[in-house]
Amino acid sequence: MVNKSRHYINLALGTLLSAVFAAVLTMLFHRSTWRAALPLAFVFVLVLLSKRFGVSVSLTGSLSAAIIFAMFLFPPLGSTQVENDHARMNLAWMILSAVAVSYLLYPRTPIGRH
């Protein structure tokens, strides 16, 4: 029971940190010419978070980061729709890459076994 609740706490903490990092990077790079590539660079952050908080964070963290990037980084701002095809594909690749790399590097162990 304790291990299961620890898993959910780690998942919530990792997802929250991912959202905070995504928001901070959005504020830093919103006028940069590199903003379209930011989701791909964010995969590194997601992989590090999944190492610390578990591989489930790679999915929940990448989804929360994708929503933040879509709403506040790419036009139209305030909407989850992304006009630019290149930016939309980078968001999709971020989600796919973060989950794939995390599961390849850090295989999931059943709750209760370490």
Sign of CA dihedral 62, 63, 68, 70: positive
Q: What is the pLDDT of residue 110?
A: 60
The Cβ of residue 65 has, within 10 Å, a number of other Cβ atoms equal to: 30
The pLDDT score that the predictor gives to residue 107 is 75
Spell 16-53 as b/e; 16+ CB within 10 A means b: ebbbebbbebbeebeeeeebbebbeebbebbbebbeeb
Peptide bond into 110 cis (omega under 30): no
pLDDT band, very low/low/confident/very high, at 88 (cuts 50, 70, 90): very high
Give the pLDDT score at 1.
62
pLDDT, tens digit, 9 for 90 and up, residues 26-60: 999 989 888 889 999 999 999 999 999 988 999 99
**For the whole model, what pTM was predicted?**
0.87
Which whole number is the average pLDDT over 55-82? 92
Enter the tokens of residue 93.
Answer: 């690749």
| Average pLDDT value for residue range 84-103 | 92
pLDDT at position 106 is: 82
Written as six digits, the tokens of 64 are 């929360």
